[in-house]
Chain A
Amino acid sequence: EAQVTQNPRYLITVTGKKLTVTCSQNMNHEYMSWYRQDPGLGLRQIYYSMNVEVTDKGDVPEGYKVSRKEKRNFPLILESPSPNQTSLYFCASSYGGRDGYTFGSGTRLTVV
C-alpha cells in the first residue's frame, strides 16, 4: 500500500530534550515536506526537500532541522524543543509537487 509513515503518533517531552520524528514513504517520491498544524493558523510548511541531499526552509523553520540522506526518509529533528513547538506535525510526499501530496497520519507533539 502506498503510504507515508510517521512515528511516533503521540509524543510528550520536556523542554530542551532533543527528539526526532521519523517519516518514510514507499512511493519513490522526490518531493517531501514537513508541515505543522495549529488552531487558527492552518498548516504551515517547516522544511521541504526536492531530492536526496537537497533541503530548504519553508515558512516556519526556526527550531527545526531536517536531513534527506535517502530518498524514502525525511526525519524532522528538534534539537532543543520549546513549548511553542507543541503542535500537530505532518510529513508529506509527492511525485511532482503540483500533482498533490500524500500525507502521513500526523504526530501530535506536546512540549512541557
Chain B
Amino acid sequence: GDSVTQMEGPVTLSEEAFLTINCTYTATGYPSLFWYVQYPGEGLQLLLKATKADDKGSNKGFEATYRKETTSFHLEKGSVQVSDSAVYFCALSAPGANSKLTFGKGITLSVRP
C-alpha cells in the first residue's frame, strides 16, 4: 500500500540555520505530494504541494521538489525563524485512493533564538 517515510526527529536548530526534512514515499501511479504544518494547539495547515514530477512547491520560504526518480519530496528552508517551530508532516494522495491522505509520522522542529 501507499506509505510515507519521514526522517526521525525531533530537530533543533538555531535561528537562521538551513533546514532540510527528508521525506520519501511509496505509491502506485503518480500521487500528489504535500507538506502540512501543525503549530502547537492548532490543526494542520497546508504548507505546500506538488502534483507532478519535477514540480516545486513553495510557500513562506519553504520549498520542496517532487522527485519521481528518487520518490522523494524533501522540505527545505534557507533560514529558519523561531516562528517556524512546529510539527511538519509529509503526505501523499494517490490516484483512485478515495482521495485519502497518507501521512508520515511527523517531525517536531524547534528553533532557538
Q: Is the CB of B100 within 8 A of A33?
A: yes
Residues of B within 8 A of A41 (CB): 105
Number of interface residues of B (CB under 8 A): 22
On B, residues with C-beta under 8 Å from A are 31-32, 34, 36, 42-46, 49, 51, 89, 93, 95, 98-101, 103-106
Q: Is the CB of B43 within 8 A of A103?
A: yes
On A, residues with C-beta under 8 Å from B are 4, 31, 33, 35, 40-45, 48, 50, 56, 58-59, 90, 92, 94, 96-106
- For the complex of A and B, the 10 pairs showing the least CB-CB separation, nearest first, are A97-B99, A103-B43, A42-B105, A98-B32, A103-B44, A43-B103, A105-B43, A100-B46, A98-B93, A42-B103
Q: Is the CB of A48 within 8 A of B105?
A: no
Bound CA span A85–B46, Å: 26
Q: Is the CB of A100 within 8 A of B100?
A: no
Q: Is the CB of A58 within 8 A of B103?
A: no
- Max chain A Cβ within 10 angstroms of own Cβ: one of B31, B42, B99, B105: B99
Q: Report which of B42, B46, B95, B105 forms a contact with A98, defined as CB distance below 8 A.
A: B95
